[in-house]
Structure 1
Amino acid sequence: MSSNLEAPVAPGTPVGRTGTEGLRVAVLGLGEAGGAIADDLAAAGARVRGYDPRVPAPHGVVGTGSEAEAATGSDLVLSVNSASDALDALRAGLAGAAPGSLWADLNTASPAAKRELCEVAARAGVAGFVDVSLMATVPGRGLRTPMLASGPAARRFAELLQPLGAQVDVLGGPAGLAAERKLLRSVFYKGLAAAVVEALEAARAAGCEEWLRQHIADELTRADAATLDRLVDGSKRHAVRRTAELRAAADMLDDLGVRPLMTEASRDLLVRLLSEDDAP
């Protein structure tokens, strides 16, 4: 399957009406992620205005009293608040956004939600919308946090921010594609984290947490590309035995006083694989 990844934009590529010199950026949401990105943008020479009803603007960022005030006169608006607030922030910010401005939504939301935001922005007549997924934790990275961008203005977004130090990979496709890639990764990575947390909690109750912690670390260290094939193929080939094993594991966790949420979910997935194999 093609990654749909476009060729990277070379730093220094001329963009837009004024390039990146004096780029005017509004940042909506100045929490841990938005504040770090806004701070880096200001340090890189952008003219940054910010709005957050709960967090004051960092040094070098002009604080404003509303989304619309922050967006007024901006070339680029970065929405970095939350998925639940993204649509309200867009509607409020559009009251101040100029027709030539670019709206980038950096919130973690579903692909369908990103497409809805894109449609709202298009109806309002802003220059472009971009769906941006932050692909690593922002603290310690700020503007250099790896990003995936998709949607009508994804390439322009990269052209504006890469010369300032941002790491942006552009996906050739509609808004929602970047969100899809991030959430697919989240199914694996967050699921792995949850399984580790549950296993260590049970091991703590059984009095052998350090042993299991070292075992997990060793397994992760040895993992390679072939590990993925073994995990997938083994789950299908040995589903009957592993279902029984996980049923026993869930009973053990109950005895230890630990809710077997991930263990039971893993067992249920194996049962589903068995039912699919039995289907005509």
Structure 2
Amino acid sequence: MIQFWLIVASMLVAALLSVIVPLLRRGSRGDMALSRADGGGAALATVMFRTEMAELARQVAAGDLSSAQHGNARRELERRFVDETGAEPAPATVRAGSIAQRAGTAALLLALLPSAALVLYMRLGDPLAAAVQADSAAGPEDSHAATQGSLDVMVGRLAARLRRQPDDAAGWTMLARSYAVLERADDAAAAYRRALALTPGDPQLLADYADAQASANGGDLTGAPLQSVEAALTLDPANPKALALAGSAAFEAHDYPRAIQYWERLEQVPGVSAEIVTQARANLAEARQLASGAALR
């Protein structure tokens, strides 16, 4: 695990250098628009724009959006970006900005990019590991404290925008996942409900909603969370997170044969990470041992 975070830190440093060094060398029309913004608000809007564009790309890759839907959503994000910042999403360099402006923007990006990377990991990475593990390790407190302030600012801006644009399903999804990162389970569940009201047939949203419901209920998957899990599996029987949660619910109910069935299915899902497969097999071994003991009694 330490090696993983060292690799992440190295990649983050490389990404920061690739952005900040060219920024300090020359300015662009977009940079000048950001430097004129009030207190770095345009820079935050840029981070949110790029994050939402990444989410659209993920939904297209997963087959959740058609090309036409993706085009419409992308144009809406670009229009909103222009409205909020007065800058084009892909600015063309027209002249060098002042050193002070570019240095200020570079400092702002240096503060925001790590927290933006954390949000992207929670959305595009593999947060399923926590759902499959029987005993999850808590994240470092110092890392959480370092990103808390920036995340609160970003989440506050997103929540304010959604009050003005309540029909943005992707925005509600992002807000829900951001609340989950901030460990605000009740708020995450409420945001997932808004997203599901706009896209009711999304199995991944249902699985995420079940996770948030359980977290808000002290980790208890019975009742409404389990209903959400079952609805997700009805729509997508191979959804990894729904299978993991269903296995955990069965295990907690001492229904070991059923837990084994879910975790065996999870183990066979194409493309699931090696870490998840390893944890699923460990859970399977424990469930099989308990099932054998129950049978002998």
Which structure has the highest strand share of the two? 1
Query: Is the structural similarity TM-score above 0.5?
Result: no
TM-score by length of 1: 0.30
